[in-house]
Chains A and B, each alone.
Chain A
Amino acid sequence: MSTFNINRRHLMAAAAASAGLLAAPSVLRAANEINLYSSRHYDTDEAFYTNFTKLTGIGINRIEAKAEELIERMKAEGANSPADVFITVDAGNIERANVDGLLQPVSSDTLTKAIPAHLRHPDGSWFGFSKRARVIVVARDRMKPEDVPTYESLADEKVKGKLLIRSSGNIYNQSLMGSIIAADGSEQAEAWARGVVANMARAPKGGDTDQIKAVAAGEGDVAVANSYYLGRLIVSDKAEDREIASKVQIVFPNQNGRGTNVNISGGGVARYARNVEGAVKFLEYLVSDEAQMLFASGNVEYPVVEGVKLPAPLDSFGSFKEDTLDAQKYAALNAEAVQIMDRAGWK
């Protein structure tokens, strides 16, 4: 008997706890707060949020998860969704949210003046706030930048067995593939994907940093990575990271043609936002000099606003010509990109 009494007490306590959970208001929405659904997950972003609140008095509530999943959540929540602002780390997903009717157009002179046209949606449904270049990284002692001057050259015979690139499940590769379809057409793009697969030093695995490390260690000679992963290794506190960075060299592809593929971290105001004014204020804050500097110094991303002085190590990379293909265009090609990579056997 006694044992059961204990259990009953436990159950009562649990019931009380559950009731407490239930009673907790689902969304604490004070007058001056905005709710952020974000797929950015960088510790350095904390500075954005605290600075913004200090500056405007507007508090920020956050949920951080993958963009794809946040989109499903917003869809399920429908007209009562608490989201005010939606932020992604790529163009594909922010455009998908837009196509799915989860965003609303915003007219803000501050935003349109600060951000180049090809990095925002024409209707103001979303805006790019930072750029990440998809670059080629080569082993300093075994490859010359001239050997792989373009994305297209990654499929060349001379790269055979030397290429390190991550899985096609990765959104950055999907966006790159989208830009190649846009530039070269579907057929060429598929041939290219097959060439890339044939040239791989090993089956795709790991993240972008792993590809760079593998080049430094000699598993292959050429890697594809987002610029900030290399940047982070260069400015790392750890000597071994800096040593890895010293063994490789950055190549901005397609400088004599359309330019290097740039993805964006983008954001927009949610379709059913309650605090539209606060949401727009936040987006406008993201193009302020202070915030643009934070993108560059915190996570080594490129600012979208012209004239922001680049901190190390971005200044050492030098300026480069970027592909001005509308982010919206290659984002729309995402599904086709995945299918092509599947057919080419790109794992």
Chain B
Amino acid sequence: MTASTRTSPGGPAAGNLTGWVRKTRPNGVVAGTLVLALLVLLPIGAVVASLFSSSAGALQYLASTLLPELLLNTLGLIVLVGLGTAVVGTGTAWLVSACRFPGSRMLQWLLLLPLAMPAYIIGYAYTDFLLFAGPLQTTIRNMMGWTRDDYWFPEVHSLWGVSLMLVLVLYPYVYFLARTAFLEQSRGLLDVARTLGRGPWRVFFTVALPMARPAIAAGLALALMEALADFGTVQYFGVQTFTTAIYRTWFGMGDRVGAAQLASGLLMFVFLLISLEQWSRSRQAFHDTSRRQIKPMPVRLRGWRAALAMIACTLPVLLGFVLPVLILLGLHLDGGDELLGARFLSYARNSFLLAGTSAVLITACAVLTGYCLRSRSPVAGPLVRLATLGYAIPGTVVAVGVLIPLGVFDNWLDAQMQGWFGLSTGLLFSGTMLALLYAYLVRFLAVANGAIETGFKRIPPHIDDVARTLGRTRRQVITQVHLPLLNRSMLMSAAIVFVDVLKELPATLIVRPFNFDTLAVRVYQLASDERLEQAATGSLVIVAIALVPIILLTRVADSGGMAEPGLQP
């Protein structure tokens, strides 16, 4: 049972050899990542570039009115969503992976279900249910004969409310990565700790948790970036954050400079997050090199402990999935969307086409960024961070950011072609699905990269060296060693991107081609027309479709046990 822990993946022993090999070759992977990073930065830059344009912008006006509230709300959102997803995600992951209690096996995959629920949809559902005029409060009032001033009810439309909504749908990011990490910790380490006299709780806090920390940090970063970029939910709940303020300054006051100033403010939050994550990862990387990976023996819980564990793991599923689905079902039965029946196939086909294509495309790009990180080039880390910035940028900003450079390019090309050949190419990329895929790439590369990077981390660097020693070329190392080992990570990445694109709204709405409606667009249009009953139908369909890759995800995560195929001696 040889578990080795190293201080850094580029540790002295293995690092020098591969580092030397690499120096002798031009690194295409790094160059590829550079191109990718530029592609991602282009739209963000297009928006931020307005900073340097003519007018003075609204920052001064904002500073005197909204800025303090924006800062407080955004910080509050980060803290609340961060704490919530960390506790719920890590706690449930540990319970289902380290303990056995009634229902624990089923809960392992049930806990992922809220991932299928778009944040704006859970927002609609709960709002409608919990509002003063909604069914719950109305029933209470009718039963008790109360009026408005006779009772207190928590205000859903608050920072707390919106944070709760976001925690409910975002904790699975932490849960998923933390659970994978816990399952991969070999029993050996934990047993050693137990043998040395540590109780189960102390094992959790002193061994399991620190070892899972990189995975938890990665999940947390994803959840928080998503929370920062959220527009639909915070707007609906009337909580002013950077995202809503960007929207308001840009579109309400027609002030692109002010919006860009705010976007830069948002970016600072993102950099803060990313550096926190990096800091938490940098000091440790664990490669468990034991040859016989033995699954940790779960602790069997009984009595009240079992009951508590069960409640703790069931509650997120009930609140994050079952209850909102029931509310939506109720709304649907109340007056669902008839048109969806007739057009369902075209909406679903468009949604599938976009989600499927981007899942493959973005995963392929993430393999590139993952490789870049593995190359140990000094610029690799910063490059990949830049290439994955887009996840925290609100979809609207990404969308407009994509439109600007594409429009410039298309019009330039058109002018060139007219000048040289007298033929007009019109808009070559703007308004095509390619433009849409570009927007998704900017937005979701971080998600795919998270999964792939974690996958690469699990492949000990010395395997590369061994393969090279055995006469494999660099290319063969990739095709014969890395890709087979990354199989599951790639599937995971594709599944998560698929779900994210299926749920994505603002970019799809703005960038899409003519006569091209998706399920999410349909839901948005009905909801913005205040027809929630009808919107419920499409929402349920989105949730149902998103369940498919999520179930796949759970099966992939479980199929290989925790040992990577091919790692067995």
Contacts and interface: CB of A to CB of B under 8 A. Distances in A.
Nearest to B249: A338
B248 A77 contact: no
B414 A72 contact: no
Given A1-B484, A72-B510, A229-B530, A339 B237 contact: no
Contacts of A4: 479-480, 483-484, 487
Contacts, number: 186
A235 B132 CA distance: 23
B411 A73 contact: no
In this complex, the member of A69, A202, A209, A237 whose beta carbon has the largest number of chain B beta carbons within 10 angstroms is A69
Contact of B411 (A22, A79, A96): A79
Interface in A60-106: 61-66, 68-70, 72-73, 75-82, 96
Interface in B482-525: 483-484, 487, 490, 506, 509-516, 525
A14 B357 contact: yes
A167 B236 CA distance: 9
Contacts of B147: 218
Nearest to A169: B248
B252 A76 contact: no
B329 interface: no
A67 B548 CA distance: 35
B361 A335 contact: no
Interface in B370-396: 396
A24 B65 CA distance: 48
A179 interface: no
A3 interface: yes
Given A210-B133, A229-B530, A72 B426 contact: no
Contacts of A17: 353, 356-357
Nearest to A29: B426
A154 B32 CA distance: 61
Given A1-B480, A21-B432, A76-B407, A43 B339 contact: yes
A343 B240 CA distance: 14
A76 B406 contact: yes
Given A62-B514, A78-B411, A204 B400 contact: no
Given A27-B431, A206-B131, A238-B335, A64 B525 contact: yes
Contacts of B525: 41, 64
A210 B248 contact: no
Nearest to B334: A238
B148 interface: yes
A209 B530 contact: yes
Contacts of A203: 155, 157, 238
A31 interface: no
Contact of A66 (B427, B509, B530, B565): B509
Contacts of A62: 514-515
A202 B132 CA distance: 11
A309 interface: no
Nearest to B357: A17
Contacts of B137: 217
Contact of A26 (B155, B250, B431): B431
A35 B410 CA distance: 19
B364 interface: yes
A216 B528 contact: no
Contacts of A339: 61, 65, 253
Contact of B427 (A72, A82, A204): A82
A347 B252 CA distance: 13
Contacts of B490: 7
A249 interface: no
B66 interface: yes
A69 B133 contact: no
Output the residue of A77, A80, A213 with the most chain B CB within 10 A.
A80
Contacts of A258: none
Nearest to B64: A343
B133 A214 contact: yes
B254 interface: yes
Given A4-B483, A214-B132, A339-B61, A27 B403 contact: no
Contact of A22 (B141, B434, B514, B529): B434
Interface in A319-343: 334-335, 338-339, 342-343
13 contacts: A1-B484, A3-B487, A3-B565, A17-B357, A42-B529, A61-B514, A69-B399, A76-B403, A76-B404, A77-B410, A77-B431, A169-B252, A338-B253
Counting from the closest, the 3 A-B pairs by CB-CB distance are: A68-B251, A76-B407, A14-B360
